[in-house]
């Protein structure tokens, strides 16, 4: 028969103090004399008493829990991010709650209030269209948060992102160097700073190499289906386009599907390049050229920054990680016309 597990009442009785005194000692929330502290410590060791961590967290209104809020768990970018965040959180004694929510949820102040009642210690926000009302709600909660991916704002210290503008330049210059003469861009939603920076990189690079050519831009929503539909529309409007830079890999995969349906050869007739570097880009046919984000490093940096904000309350270090161009079959076999 197993020995009965010691309780806080057992410790209090053995030490000759009240339960409240033992609780104050465990949670370190008010002064206790050194003599009483020593007495409680000895009894806890003798009875092999282990405090309930959840109860301790509630006493301090802390739970050692962080929440990751993402817009689309079906996008392979986010599971890769989750792995990194969960590993670092676990290493530092934190648990992770994954929340898959759309923008409408995030704009509702009640959505955030629920997290406060659950004693969430901090947020990693991977998608969010910030406005003054929501920023005020977050500040009132006094819960630290770090912004990544679509939620990134390069003008704030609590963001961890990449140089999206530079990445877009690399993508368009690659298409130009292949010999593409009419390059279009399928962008992300204009409410997200990374999408804006990628569009700006496309426009500036096009202006540099084709100063009299008008930019060809169709706005997508980062989903595969929009890449497919917008590629079809793009080629109806501009059948002579020979290079497409898409603002993320999922839309680029949708574009590949559309071109296959239209019997247009990639890369012989049109060169395609995406952005993100998700693993599925190596599994499609043809393999997709892309601008690779260091997804794992983003997750690690964001989690370390958030935990530092939770525990130290001050972290002004800015993170802007480098991207890299990976050339694969979707561009490397392009044959310039004329």
Query: pLDDT tens digits for 281-316?
Result: 999 999 999 999 999 999 999 999 999 888 876 655
Return the bridge partners of 275, or none: 291
Q: From CA 165, how far away is CA 8, in angstroms rounded? A: 57
Q: Where are the alpha helices (DSSP H) in 210-328?
A: 224-237, 249-261, 295-311
Kindly state which CATH superfamily the domain 8-59 is placed in: lambda repressor-like DNA-binding domains (1.10.260.40)
pLDDT for res 22: 77
In the chain, list all ranges with CATH 3.40.50.2300. Answer: 65-162+295-321, 164-294+325-332
pTM: 0.78
Name the pairing type of β-strands 216-219 and 271-276: unpaired
118 φ, ψ to 5°?
-95, 5
Domain 65-162+295-321: CATH class, spelled out: alpha beta
pLDDT digits (tens, 9 = 90+) for 144-192: 888 888 777 766 778 888 999 999 999 999 999 999 999 999 999 998 8
What is the number of other CB atoms lying within 10 angstroms of the CB of residue 9? 10
pLDDT for res 1: 37
In the chain, list all ranges with CATH 1.10.260.40. Answer: 8-59
> Interior CA angle at 186 toward 177 and 171, to 5°?
25
pLDDT for res 44: 84
57 CB-contact burial (10 Å; exposed 0-12 / middle 13-18 / buried 19+): middle
* 79 neighbors 250 (Cβ within 8 angstroms): no
- The architecture (CATH level 2) of 164-294+325-332 comes to 3-Layer(aba) Sandwich (3.40)
Low-confidence ranges of the chain (pLDDT < 70): 1-4, 27-31, 51-63, 102-109, 113-118, 127-139, 154-155, 313-318, 338
pLDDT for res 326: 97
């Amino acid at each position: 028969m197993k020995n009965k597990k010691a309780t806080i009442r057992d410790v209090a009785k053995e030490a000759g103090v009240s339960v409240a005194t033992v609780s104050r000692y465990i949670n370190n929330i008010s002064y206790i004399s050194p003599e009483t502290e020593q007495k409680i410590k000895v009894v806890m060791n003798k009875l092999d008493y282990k405090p309930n961590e959840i109860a301790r967290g509630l006493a301090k209104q802390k739970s050692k829990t962080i929440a990751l809020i993402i817009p689309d768990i079906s996008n392979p970018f986010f599971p890769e991010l989750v792995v990194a965040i969960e590993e670092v959180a676990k290493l530092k004694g934190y648990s992770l709650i994954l929340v898959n929510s759309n923008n409408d949820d995030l704009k509702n102040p009640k959505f955030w209030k629920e997290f406060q009642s659950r004693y969430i210690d901090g947020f990693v926000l991977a998608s969010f269209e910030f406005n003054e009302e929501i920023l005020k709600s977050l500040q009132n909660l006094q819960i630290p948060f770090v912004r990544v991916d679509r939620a990134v704002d390069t003008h704030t210290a609590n963001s961890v992102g990449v140089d999206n503008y530079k990445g877009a330049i690399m993508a368009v210059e690659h298409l130009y160097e292949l010999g593409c003469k009419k390059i279009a861009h399928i962008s992300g939603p204009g409410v997200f700073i990374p999408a804006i920076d990628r569009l700006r990189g496309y426009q500036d690079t096009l202006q540099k190499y084709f100063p009299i050519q008008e930019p060809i831009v169709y706005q997508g929503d980062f989903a595969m289906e929009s890449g497919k539909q917008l590629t079809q529309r793009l080629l109806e409007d501009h059948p002579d386009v020979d290079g497409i830079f898409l603002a993320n890999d999922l839309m680029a995969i949708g574009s590949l599907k559309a071109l296959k349906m239209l019997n247009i050869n990639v890369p012989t007739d049109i060169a395609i390049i995406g952005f993100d570097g998700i693993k599925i880009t190596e599994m499609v046919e043809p393999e997709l050229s892309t601008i690779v984000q260091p997804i794992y490093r983003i997750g690690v940096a964001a989690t370390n920054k958030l935990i530092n904000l939770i525990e130290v309350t001050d972290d002004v270090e800015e993170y802007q990680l480098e991207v890299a161009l990976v050339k694969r079959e979707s561009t490397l076999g392009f044959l310039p016309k004329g």
